[in-house]
A and B are shown apart, each in its own frame.
Chain A
Amino acid sequence: MKKVITGNQAVAYGVILSRVEVVSAYPITPQTTIVEELSELIANGRLHTRFLKVESEHSAMAALIGASTGGVRCFTATSSHGLAYMHEMLHWASGARLPIVMVNVNRAIGPPWNIWSDQSDSLSQRDTGWIQLYCENNQEVLDTILQAYRIAETVRLPVMVILDAFVLSHTSEPVEIPSMEEVEAFLPPYCPPYPLEPQEPKSYSVITTPEYFFEFRYKIQKAMEEVPEVCQKVEDEFYSRFKRRYGAVEKYGDEQAEVLLLTSGTVTSTSRIVIKKWREEGVNIAGLKIKRFRPFPAKEIGEAIKGTKKLAVIDRNLSAGVGGIFAQELKAALYSQEERPAIFGFVSGLGGRDITPELLEEAIQYTLGHSQPKEEILWLGLKR
């Protein structure tokens, strides 16, 4: 069934189709309409899910940690300050190996107060042990939710599905909504590995001395290392059923491009148009969409950039003191590789300023015109 729905509605459909049993959330723009939609369905008796009202995002995640430990599939959504408030519990969720799926609608963190899109909220949480998947359109949002539960429940790590504020969250697009039967066949019910049984009391994540703590962390890294393969398998199966795939990264344009434009989220859609136009004008160029940020797809990127001389990275985020986070991650990932193209780190679109085709063209122009970037951070669209 095809429907014209917003990104947030696509999330809600994904949650419904995944037969989530517990939803716990606290409202924050631009996420609110996701749980609004879900809570309404629950209140009307059309969705048999337990909705927990909580007084904060910290409690929302804490409640899901309880629910997930109890062995049920669960969900929450947040943005910006709400995500920041959850920080401690994000560590707990991954440390306790709980397959929680959360949507974060990318929104800048204040002050100054701002409700528009940038990635500084989710990227601030990159070291919490969560898998992070960035979406480009509403169809991808829905499909990624379904895949996220499969991935999370296989590797037993939590997954954050990320979409841009307003550009996706509040914008309608046609979305193919799979039937419940199809999704049930793809996503079986969750079977917890260590179920909570009142008859057999257990204490989870009890105090662990230096004797073993280290090894538990090692195991989380090992689980992260399994993710690329698991994602691949899950997506192959998804493709066989639904005929859609996204990949950890997606390269489009000239196979042997000299210049590659790296983007994530909705900027990729803009980039696709720009790349197409420049290729038509005879420029040997391609785009690279990065969907999976954690674990960072170093291997996949390594393959995609073979033969590329220059990488222009568009970062809609800023780690003050360093620069764009995607660019930094990329540099770190390429250090051990033989081919190390020049990396042009553009920072743009903070606090929801539009990253227009013109801005992307400016970035391409600069990259074409320089053998190496003149500055560590290339400010794109900044009013100096």
Chain B
Amino acid sequence: MSKQFTFKGASEMPEIPISLGFMDWNKTGAWRAQRPYYLDKTPPCSAYCPVGNDIVSFIQKILEEDMDGAWRVLREENPFPGVCGRVCFHPCESRCNRSFLDEPIAIHALERFVADFSEDQGQKVKREVEEGKERVAIIGSGPAGLSCAYHLARLHYPVTVFESFSLPGGMLRMGIPSYRLPREVLEREIALIESMGVNIRTGITLGQNLTWQDLKDYSAIFIATGAHLGRPLGIPGEKRRGVFQGLEFLKKVNSGKKIELGEKVGIIGGGNTAIDVARSVIRLGKKAILLYRRSKEEMPAFEEEVSEALEEGVKIRYLVNPIRIHSKDGLKRLECLRMKLGEKDETGRRKPIPIPNSNFFIEVDSLIIAAGEEIEFSYFPKGMERKGGILLTQRDGSAGVKGVFAGGDLTSTQRTVAHAIGSGKKAALAMDCYFKEKDSEEVFRRTLIGEGPPISIFRYLHPDERRMDPHLVRFEELNLDYFEPAPRQKESKLPPKVRIKDFKEITSTLPSSLAIEEAGRCFSCGTCNGCETCYVFCPDASILKREGIFLREIDYDFCKGCGICFTECPRGAITLKEEAR
């Protein structure tokens, strides 16, 4: 405590009372009735990312112009940022709180930017696999299989991936046309997985040149063979020559094989495969007409791809259902019924109902059926069960046989790249628990992002870093005084006329300047990004800094609990709770 002066009277006194000492004896924190504290909360983007990416953190790194750091953050959860930045349907963006102010953050564009930027910098990863640990076999080198392999390698397990085709990648290579995902992007990300020590053996098919007996030496198996059997329409004539299955067609196109197509190609279906097929047909110089039995609104294909297809000249006929294929001299005569929409079905979409006697004919030269894919289950051993068109698995991915896990399209009706990557990661975590005899349910609970379903393997590996409360940040919890409308950055796109000439990628990566600008639009919902607004506003100078560095610490000796930091925080990263009495 400072020295006290005593005065006889006014003549001895200064003009104003001044304490020449410090006021730190006055612990104003004792007055506090409510306590503010830093608590990062879950941003909706991450909670709705099937991969479980830490989106806010990687965007923050872009803003700091630490692109390598951003790449590392992305790779904590996902070995495929270059792929996902291009092909993911980005549910993160549909949930982005920014869309309530203007437009969501272009998260996919930023992810792609980071992946491509880091490629330009020459990525290096070190070997992670350690000999002597449990060995894992993975069947299928699609996004699920490779994600599982990647995360197992990070956990230092030796992994062998078996792929029946001559090149790895699964649906990323066979299903997705290169105008959406250039092969070199896929290959560089697969190469990085391999350089961590993952062994990929191609040309090996389970049930043919690989038996369950051969896999006995492995401590665990992850099956991710996907769904690649075209679903038949079940109408007369579909087995005829010149009628292709959508996925078969894409496989041929994507592996550079020649296909004999007529001038006018009919495509049946309304999913992403159907759109990929139609756009590939256009690129092969043919006319594409897509027939879908419901209306545009019910189409399962992603909206942006539908509109790109229309730009490129794909014709779409809605509310049309083929009931018979007549063939004559190579020409297909398609007998169709007109449809109308009825009540909503179990998928929440309005059910198509045939209009009686509305039969009409459409003439095409070739026909491609893309009405969905089914799983191959002929090689399943006893104990594995199929239900509703998928392989039954537990929450941890275990498939009914001890040590056997499964994921990807094989086990889910949500057949997206992101879901596949997420399921591979989950299985890797479950296998680690299996080997270490940990309760995987409990581990999942600890690593859930928000309330789940995605999990974070980063959180599993670093339980004390970047902790996050499961509370999902709502738009209303942000302080909009700090955000002004700003336009969303768009990746530039080739004009349709140029696009349809070949299979070259149609969009381009954002330049750094625009990526940084876009990153600056991120609210960083619920996550302190060190903006220091609290530091500026705290009337009690109780937000601490040491040597100029903002610490995210509050000096509770002096914090009176006024709550100004909580109110002002632009992103809801501070919580205020009543003090226990």
Interface residues of A (CB under 8 A from B): 95-97, 156, 193-194, 200-206, 208, 212, 215-216, 218-219, 222-223
Q: Are B18 and A212 in contact (CB under 8 A)?
A: no
User: Is B580 an interface residue, CB under 8 A from the partner?
Assistant: no
Q: Are B17 and A194 in contact (CB under 8 A)?
A: no
CB-defined contacts of B19 to chain A, threshold 8 Å: 202-203, 206
CB-defined contacts of A206 to chain B, threshold 8 Å: 17-19, 23
| CB<8 Å pairs between A and B, sample of 26 | A95-B16, A97-B16, A156-B15, A200-B20, A202-B18, A202-B19, A202-B20, A203-B18, A204-B17, A204-B18, A205-B18, A206-B17, A206-B19, A206-B23, A208-B17, A212-B7, A212-B13, A212-B17, A215-B7, A215-B9, A216-B13, A216-B16, A216-B17, A219-B13, A222-B10, A223-B15
Q: Are B17 and A205 in contact (CB under 8 A)?
A: yes
Residues of chain B in range 1-54 having any CB-CB distance to chain A below 8 Å: 7, 9-10, 13-20, 22-23
In this complex, the member of B14, B16, B17 whose beta carbon has the largest number of chain A beta carbons within 10 angstroms is B16
B117 to chain A, nearest CB (A): 39
Q: Are A193 and B23 in contact (CB under 8 A)?
A: no
8 more contacts with CB within 8 A, not counting A194-B14, A194-B18, A212-B13, are A194-B16, A202-B18, A202-B19, A204-B18, A206-B19, A208-B17, A212-B7, A215-B9
B564 to chain A, nearest CB (A): 15
B268 to chain A, nearest CB (A): 64
CB-defined contacts of A208 to chain B, threshold 8 Å: 17
Q: Are B20 and A219 in contact (CB under 8 A)?
A: no
Query: Complex formed: what's the CA distance from A355 to B10 in Å?
Result: 46
Q: Which residue of B lies closest to A218 (CB)?
A: B10
Q: Which residue of A lies closest to B9 (CB)?
A: A215
CB-defined contacts of A201 to chain B, threshold 8 Å: 22
B295 to chain A, nearest CB (A): 53
Query: Complex formed: what's the CA distance from A160 to B547 in Å?
Result: 43
CB-defined contacts of B20 to chain A, threshold 8 Å: 200, 202
Query: Complex formed: what's the CA distance from A200 to B20 in Å?
Result: 8
Query: Complex formed: what's the CA distance from A193 to B9 in Å?
Result: 20
Q: Which residue of B lies closest to A95 (CB)?
A: B16
CB-defined contacts of B16 to chain A, threshold 8 Å: 95-97, 194, 204-205, 216
Query: Complex formed: what's the CA distance from A218 to B17 in Å?
Result: 14
Query: Complex formed: what's the CA distance from A257 to B489 in Å?
Result: 82
Q: Which residue of B lies closest to A203 (CB)?
A: B19
Q: Which residue of B lies closest to A223 (CB)?
A: B15
Q: Which 5 A-B pairs rank lowest in CB-CB distance, beginning with the nearest? A: A203-B19, A215-B10, A97-B15, A206-B19, A208-B17
A187 to chain B, nearest CB (A): 21
CB-defined contacts of B23 to chain A, threshold 8 Å: 203, 206
Query: Complex formed: what's the CA distance from A204 to B7 in Å?
Result: 18
A219-B15 in contact given A203-B23, A212-B7 (Cβ < 8 Å): yes
In this complex, the member of B14, B17, B18, B20 whose beta carbon has the largest number of chain A beta carbons within 10 angstroms is B17
Residues of chain B in range 311-349 having any CB-CB distance to chain A below 8 Å: none
Query: Complex formed: what's the CA distance from A219 to B10 in Å?
Result: 7
CB-defined contacts of A218 to chain B, threshold 8 Å: 10
CB-defined contacts of A193 to chain B, threshold 8 Å: 15
CB-defined contacts of B22 to chain A, threshold 8 Å: 201
Q: Which residue of B lies closest to A217 (CB)?
A: B10
Q: Which residue of A lies closest to B6 (CB)?
A: A211
A256 to chain B, nearest CB (A): 43
Query: Complex formed: what's the CA distance from A368 to B56 in Å?
Result: 84
Query: Complex formed: what's the CA distance from A156 to B7 in Å?
Result: 21
Query: Complex formed: what's the CA distance from A206 to B21 in Å?
Result: 11
CB-defined contacts of B7 to chain A, threshold 8 Å: 212, 215
In this complex, the member of B7, B10, B20, B22 whose beta carbon has the largest number of chain A beta carbons within 10 angstroms is B10
B85 to chain A, nearest CB (A): 42
B83 to chain A, nearest CB (A): 49
CB-defined contacts of B18 to chain A, threshold 8 Å: 194, 202-206
B29 to chain A, nearest CB (A): 17
B28 to chain A, nearest CB (A): 12
Query: Complex formed: what's the CA distance from A215 to B17 in Å?
Result: 11
Q: Which residue of B lies closest to A156 (CB)?
A: B15
A64 to chain B, nearest CB (A): 16
Q: Which residue of B lies closest to A220 (CB)?
A: B15
CB-defined contacts of A205 to chain B, threshold 8 Å: 16-18
Query: Complex formed: what's the CA distance from A201 to B18 in Å?
Result: 10
A201 to chain B, nearest CB (A): 6
Query: Complex formed: what's the CA distance from A222 to B10 in Å?
Result: 10
CB-defined contacts of B9 to chain A, threshold 8 Å: 215
Q: Which residue of A lies closest to B20 (CB)?
A: A202
Query: Complex formed: what's the CA distance from A218 to B9 in Å?
Result: 11
B434 to chain A, nearest CB (A): 60
Q: Which residue of B lies closest to A206 (CB)?
A: B19
CB-defined contacts of B17 to chain A, threshold 8 Å: 204-206, 208, 212, 216
